[in-house]
Structure 1
Amino acid sequence: MSPGGERLKDEGTRTQVVIAGGIAGLVSRFCVAPLDVVKIRLQLQIHSLSDPVSHHGIKGPIYKGTLRTMQAIVREEGIAGLWKGNISAELLYVCYGGLQFVTYRTTTQILEELPRRLPSTAESFVSGAVAGGIATASTYPLDLLRTRFAAQGNEKIYTSILDSIRDINRTEGPRGFFRGCSAAVAQIVPYMGLFFATYETLRLPLGELSTLLPFGSSDAAAGVLASVIAKTGVFPLDLVRKRLQVQGPHRSRYVHNNIPEYNGVTGTIVTIIQTQGVRGLYRGLTVSLVKAAPASAVTMWTYERVLNIMRENE
């Protein structure tokens, strides 16, 4: 704690921050895996009755709404269908969580040493943006694998993580693991900047309501609000990333076999607007917010709790 009672952002050692971030990512992923699969299916869906048949002889959209999409997946693929890609996703969330929090902490400490300090909100934005960019670029191949597994229906394109790595390397080369990476970084930099700036701004005021919010859930509440605000602002780039991640030789073999061929971030945006309108850039936004809010709440609550436990037992 600082003399004025404000919590310092560099609490915990580097190792503690990495462990707490990894555990937070692991727990968060387990809780929201089904919503993640639903979000990816909706983001990849082309909404137009003039499109080719996309799945099981159905023309146009096959999934309508979060609950009905979830029900359709369970009915056609079994309950396990809601956890497709979960192994690669768990690896992604653990690695991403650890990298994100330790980079955020390190960047914040550097900014605090500058001769002329930035405003607190600006520090949080810069630290969050740097942390998000580095963590995303470093773990991107796992993100791509998560998307491709979630996009699979009953037809198995990839049977395991090792098989997917071999196939992508053989058919698409090393660059295949980074399809859509520029969209991901372009999305995550402002997203994490907005998220941490909003989170740090709200965490202390909400912390004063700790007597009204049980189990230290002020961290969770701040995480929910920060996530909703940030996610809405950058969602189109998240959708573009998903569309680019499933390009390649197996594009027509996923659940949605009418996914168009896209070329680059700008080209994808232009194509979507021309064929589906601006609304096409927001397919799956509702379930994305439904998923992002609890994911961020669980992540920030778990991170703060685990970090506090480790500090208390030093």
Structure 2
Amino acid sequence: MAMEAEAASVPELALADTDINWDRLDKTKFHIIGAVLFTAQSALLHPTAVVKTRMQVAGSGLSHMRGVTVFRHILKNDGIPGLFRGFGTSAVGSLPGRVLALTSLEVSKDMMLKYTRGLDMSEATRVGLANGVAGLFSNCVSCVYYVPLDVICQRLMVQGLPGTTFCNGPFDTMSKVIKVEGLRGLYRGFGLTAVTLSPASALWWGAYGAAQHVIWRSLGYKDEIDKKPSHIEMVTVQATAGMVAGACSSVITTPIDTVKTRLQVMDDYGVGRPSVLKTTKTLLKEDGWRGLYRGFGPRFLNMSLYGTTMIVTYELIRFNVETVEYKNISFTVWDVGGHSLGNSFSSIHHPVALSGHC
């Protein structure tokens, strides 16, 4: 009791104690609470995804507008519902995919951290490698599930634009795609997604893990030094690292995302099936090389904010579902309302399934 009282009086944690590993989580609570909070978080950012997608697919008029102008255009013509096209499909469809992605991500991350423990490399390199491999593996596993979901909800987002097919809801969308192209129509862009999404995720997580490690060290925090970061510092460092990682990733991956999005939703390709090469040629013919960065502004904003809010949300979930056994071992700090404050934000190791699905 004395130890708990002493811990409760100090709203700070040693840097080495701020990580929460997969084996310390209540998995059922983790996925239930995660479903609610991640869905709410996705709802806040969904309008930026709609704006980005419509700019990538639209003709020269809409695609050359600024993101804010496109946002106002959608709001004026379609109202609030227009900004949330495809959200229901994305929210419901993402539930099983998120479980799959998060589970594979955490398990692979923990395995990499264990296997690299004895290697001769710096802690920053080891953390970046573990996060990168975890993101790579998670996206490989979840790609099979998410590509059809992407095809369906993105087609709903671009309803009414030239070159797209009108569909009445997700099931009608799926039915029309299968009727014309069979099941392979739901996997348009699968190869491009599989080849590029995993390296992009590895880039994001590698940058995030390394960036946060560098930030902590630059602030003077080290595991072997008895210096304790406050919870505000933890949140700030995580949010900053997530924003930086998302921004860097968007700069590098936007051209690939533009080609993939158009490949998945456009139907006016003439003779033969649509392909990456045909899509790229059409895009270059319309706008030149700048066409590859259609929707860059909204995507930059989406990925930057997504990285920040996802990390904070994810760590809050992990903190709230840490098992009682491990809470007792780590002397978790509690507030007056009975909510745990200790271990609420991990300092370095914390991948989550961050992806641009829908």
Counterpart Cα distance in 2 of 1:218 and 1:182 = 35
1:22 lines up with 2:35 in the alignment: yes
- Judge conservation of contact 1:88–1:143 (CA < 8 Å) in 2: no
Counterpart Cα distance in 1 of 2:72 and 2:310 = 27
Q: Say if 1:7 and 1:128 are closer, same or farther in 2 by CA, change over 3 A.
A: same
Give 2:293's aligned amino acid. Y
What is the CA RMSD across the aligned residues, in angstroms?
Answer: 3.3
CA deviation after TM superposition for structure 1 residue 139, in Å:
1.9
1:242 lines up with 2:261 in the alignment: yes
1:198 alignment counterpart? 207
Q: Say if 1:239 and 1:45 are closer, same or farther in 2 by CA, change over 3 A.
A: same
SS for the counterpart of 1:311 is: coil
1:37 lines up with 2:50 in the alignment: yes
Q: Deviations over 1:102-161 (max 9, x none)?
A: 111111233234376473212211111111232233222111111000000399822222
2:141 alignment counterpart? 134
Counterpart Cα distance in 2 of 1:67 and 1:262 = 34
**Which deviates more, 208-217 or 282-291?**
208-217
Give 1:235's aligned amino acid. T
1:256 alignment counterpart? none
Counterpart Cα distance in 2 of 1:194 and 1:98 = 22
Give 1:66's aligned amino acid. G
Counterpart Cα distance in 2 of 1:226 and 1:168 = 35
Q: Say if 1:303 and 1:223 are closer, same or farther in 2 by CA, change over 3 A.
A: same
Aligned residues: percent identity? 21
**Which deviates more, 131-140 or 189-198?**
131-140
Counterpart Cα distance in 2 of 1:28 and 1:136 = 21
Larger RCO of the pair (alpha carbons < 8 Å, separation 6+): 2
Q: Say if 1:62 and 1:4 are closer, same or farther in 2 by CA, change over 3 A.
A: closer
Counterpart Cα distance in 2 of 1:201 and 1:304 = 17
Consecutive unaligned residues of structure 2, counting only runs of 5 or more, are 1-12, 220-228, 326-358
Counterparts of residues 134-283 of structure 1 (less than 5 Å): 134-153=141-160, 157-204=166-213, 206=215, 211=230, 213=232, 216-248=235-267, 251=268, 263-283=274-294
Counterpart Cα distance in 1 of 2:200 and 2:142 = 13
Counterpart Cα distance in 2 of 1:283 and 1:19 = 36
Q: Say if 1:313 and 1:207 are closer, same or farther in 2 by CA, change over 3 A.
A: farther
Q: Deviations over 1:242-292 (max 9, x none)?
A: 1011133xx59xxxxxx9998322443344335432211111111101111
Q: Say if 1:162 and 1:270 are closer, same or farther in 2 by CA, change over 3 A.
A: closer
1:77 alignment counterpart? 78
Normalising by structure 1, what TM-score?
A: 0.80
Counterpart Cα distance in 2 of 1:24 and 1:93 = 13
Q: Say if 1:192 and 1:4 are closer, same or farther in 2 by CA, change over 3 A.
A: same
Q: Say if 1:21 and 1:221 are closer, same or farther in 2 by CA, change over 3 A.
A: farther
2:303 alignment counterpart? 292
SS for the counterpart of 2:115 is: coil
Consecutive unaligned residues of structure 1, counting only runs of 5 or more, are 48-59, 253-258
**Which deviates more, 102-111 or 238-247?**
102-111
Normalising by structure 2, what TM-score?
A: 0.71
Counterpart Cα distance in 2 of 1:213 and 1:83 = 33
- Judge conservation of contact 1:24–1:97 (CA < 8 Å) in 2: no
Q: Say if 1:309 and 1:5 are closer, same or farther in 2 by CA, change over 3 A.
A: closer
Larger gyration radius, structure 1 or structure 2:
2
Q: Deviations over 1:165-197 (max 9, x none)?
A: 222222221111111122222231122101111
Q: Say if 1:12 and 1:202 are closer, same or farther in 2 by CA, change over 3 A.
A: farther
Counterpart Cα distance in 2 of 1:168 and 1:87 = 19
Number of matched pairs: 294
Q: Say if 1:102 and 1:293 are closer, same or farther in 2 by CA, change over 3 A.
A: same
- Judge conservation of contact 1:124–1:197 (CA < 8 Å) in 2: yes
Counterpart Cα distance in 2 of 1:274 and 1:170 = 30
2:222 alignment counterpart? none
